[in-house]
Structure formats: structure tokens, C-alpha cells
Amino acid sequence: MEPNKKHVIDSEGYREYLGMAAAVFDWKSWARPEQLMPEGDWHIWFIKAGRGWGKTRTGAEAIRSLQAFGYGRFHLVGRTSADVRDTMIEGESGLLSISPPENRPVWKPSTRKLVWPNGAVATTFSAEEPDSLRGPQCEAYWADELASWKYPDAWDQLQFGARLSGKVRGIVTTTPRPTQLIKTLMQRDDVVVTHGTTFENEANLSPSAVAALKAQYLGTRLGRQELEGHILDNNPGALWKRETLDRSRVSQLPKGVELTRVIVGVDPSTTATGDECGIVTVGCGSDGLIYVLDDSSVQGTPIVWAKRAVSAYLAHDGNEIVYEGNQGGEMVAQTLMTVATVPLRRVFASKNKRARAEPISMLYEQGRVRHVGNFYNLEDELCEWEPGSGASPNRLDALVWAVTWAHHEYRPRTKARVYK
């Protein structure tokens, strides 16, 4: 058996070994200049950058630095609880991985806390549960992928609780989207903005992956956002505008509004290779408005998206699943019925996509559709798809089918579901 290395190196060599180990955790020697915390009297460090830039490592290192500077109460907020755990805490660039052994925090999942040896504590939160941020206070926080948070209220509640320190510090790391919150942050005087692209960190990324990303997305609008970290303006050729969607947004159903009918729209994928299937749930409100409740779209085989569609139907107490039957036909119905016996309605696309989508975009402009929360992938597709482009907007198609059927075939349910 090979002897333990620490038993075969001399004392001078062992000191060198320890010095090398310590250097691994010396962020200043590894980081690019733009990844180091800015100097000055700032309140929020807002890092908007393309995928792979190193946002997670930078955010984790910023929290580690603040802890070393004496900050003792942190809030860590991610898009979902799984994102907080898998990326911010346990990920390869998360807080556990980048902390040296002598100052590595202990992760206590049952209490959602990281505890450092000196007693400093970071509590984790999911942006999907804004009310969980009511009450708890912190001296500093890290908000990851802010542009993808479903409920804007989560940001507001985070701000209300960031009040303990004489100088509260906030770290925001995100791939940008043109949301009102992101635009507002960039205009604030107390916010330092760092912009970066995927290609600045190219030396640490897979060459084949970078080459594939460049070939597919470089020079496209999506590439400008996801790789180059730019906030996109409206696509002049699209039927939906960002401002219209922002005006259509609510955090929850208004009190007293009953959902008289719930429909799950499905734009099915019929390939075994697993193209994306659009799955969007909408509800008819007793106030005469249509509410978009969920985007459950998924990439996978027919049985995968069928299970997702039925789950959406059950989660929202649906009335029926409406699906496009031009492709797949009875196979789509059979796949769905394999999962569960649910009411199905097959519809046919007798018109082109523009002719089907334009009336729905007009309903948005008239203020007759509301989004309950943020649905970023769906909204990106609405605001980026150009009629006649040849692209296949699966989420958009599912939304159009669901809203069309809710609007034109309105029939009250016998038992209404009330959201309080």
C-alpha cells in the first residue's frame, strides 16, 4: 500500500506543501481584477455577466471576504431552494468548496443555515417563497440569478430585512434580462455595476463547449444576452413588448377573485429525442381577466412531458388539457392518458402562427391578461419571436392555445376555486 504522503516529505517540503494549499484559497491571486470587490462606499455590487463568467465563484468569494471583515449575519437567496443548495452552497464554486479548511462553514440543511467557526451565520432562502424573508434580518446578502426570480416581492422583502449593519452590503450575480427591477438597479447611484462576458473566462471553460456556443449563439440576440451579458431592448419584429408584460404582472391573484376555469395548454413534442414541449396553465378569473398561472414547459420524451402536463393539471385543479393535434394526433392523447385519465381537447392549427398569436397579443395590450409572477423563459420567447422567422416557439404556442380556448370558449365551472 502506498504510504501517506505526509509521512514521506521532509519538514521543509511539508511547509511548502501547506503554502501551496493555502494559495489555492487565496482568491486575490486567482481572480481577474473585475472579480474582486470594488472599493468605495457602495451599497450593492451588481454583477451582470454571461454564463460561465464566474459569477457564482465571485459571489461566494465576496461573502467569504465580508465574513472575514467581521460581518456576521448573511442572507443567501437563490431562484429556488435547490439552486441555493446545489449552486451557492454545495456547488464546485459554492461557499463550501471555496472556503479553506480552517474557516470552512458547516452546512445545516435542516435549519437552512451555514455556520462559520467564529459564529457567523448565513441563512438560505428561496425566491419562490417571498414571505419566508419577512422578519429575518441581515448585515449582508447574496442574491443569485436575480433576473430569473419568479416573484419580485422576494427582492422587496430581502431589502426590508437588510438593516442590521452600519453598512449593509449586497451582492447580486445574474445573467441579465430586461426586467424593470434590473433596469432600476443599474440606474441607482449606490450600485456598482460589473459587466462581463462568457469569453473573459474562456481559459477555464471547455474549449469544445465554448466553440459550440460561439457557433450557435454568437451574433444572435440570445447570444448577446446569455453570453455577452447585455440587457436587450425590445425586438421590433416581435408581437409582445417587455413593457406590456410588466404592466400585466401581478404577484398573486387579487383577493376575492375566483378561478372559474383552468386550462393547461400543450404544444407537444412528438420526437423520441426530446424536443421542448410547451406547457402553460391559465385560469379564467371571475373578474373577466385571464391569468397565466404557470409555465411547466420541459424538454424530454413524450412520456416526460405528458407527466409534466398532467402534474400541472392536478396542481392547479384544472378543467382540461388543450393540445395541438396537427402533429402526433391520437398519439398525444394516448400518451397523456397513459399517465392519468384527464379531460382532453384536441385543437387544430388551421392558421399560421402569426394569425393565431396576434389576437392574443392584442388581449395583452388591452389589459385582459395577467401574469401571476414572472415566467422568464416564456416571456423571453414572447418578446423575441418574430413571425415568419421559421423558429418554433413552443412556450408561446402553448400559451396561445390556452388563452385562445379560455377567451373564446368560456364556460363557468360548477365549483369555483378561490384564492385568498
Q: What is the three-state SS of 76-130? A: EEECCHHHHHHHHHCCCCCHHHHCCHHHCCEEEHHHCEEECCCCCEEEEEECCCH
Provide the pairing of β-strand 344-347 with 276-285: unpaired
**Range list for CATH 3.40.50.300 in the chain:** 5-226
Q: What integer pLDDT is reported at residue 106 of this predicted model? A: 97
Q: Provide φ and ψ at 324, rounded to 5°.
A: -75, 130
Contact 386, 237 (CB under 8 A): yes
Instruction: Answer for the pair 316, 262: CB distance below 8 angstroms, yes or no.
Output: yes
**For residue 294, what is the DSSP state?**
E
Please report the pLDDT score of residue 325 as a whole number: 75
pLDDT computed for residue 273 by the predictor: 64
Backbone φ/ψ region at 325: left (φ over 0), alpha (ψ -120 to 50), beta: alpha
Q: Is 41 exposed, middle or buried (0-12, 13-18, 19+ CB in 10 A)?
A: exposed
Q: Which residue has the cell 440606474?
A: 187
- Distance, in Å, from the CA atom of 384 to the CA atom of 365, rounded to the nearest integer, reads 17
User: Which DSSP state fits 219?
Assistant: T
Taking only the tens place, the pLDDT of each residue in 396-418 is 999 999 999 888 754 444 333 33
Fold of 5-226: Rossmann fold (3.40.50)
Pairing of strands 140-144, 169-174: parallel
Instruction: List, for residues 102-150, the tens digit of each pLDDT value.
Output: 999 999 999 999 999 999 999 999 999 999 999 899 999 999 999 999 9
Q: What angle do CA 170, 179, 378 make, to 5 degrees?
A: 125
* Region(s) of the chain under CATH 3.30.420.240: 242-418
CATH of domain 242-418: 3.30.420.240
CA-wise closest residue to 321 among 276, 374, 261: 261
- Count of C-beta atoms within a 10 Å radius of residue 5: 10
- Sequence length of the chain is 420
Residue 330: Cβ-neighbour burial (10 angstroms; 0-12, 13-18, 19+)? exposed
- Residue 327 pLDDT: 67
Phi, psi at 281, each rounded to 5°: -105, 130
Mean pLDDT of successive 10-residue stretches along the chain, which has 420 residues:
37 49 79 92 94 94 94 96 96 95 95 96 96 94 95 93 90 91 92 92 87 84 83 86 92 93 90 80 95 95 92 94 77 88 84 88 96 92 86 90 81 38
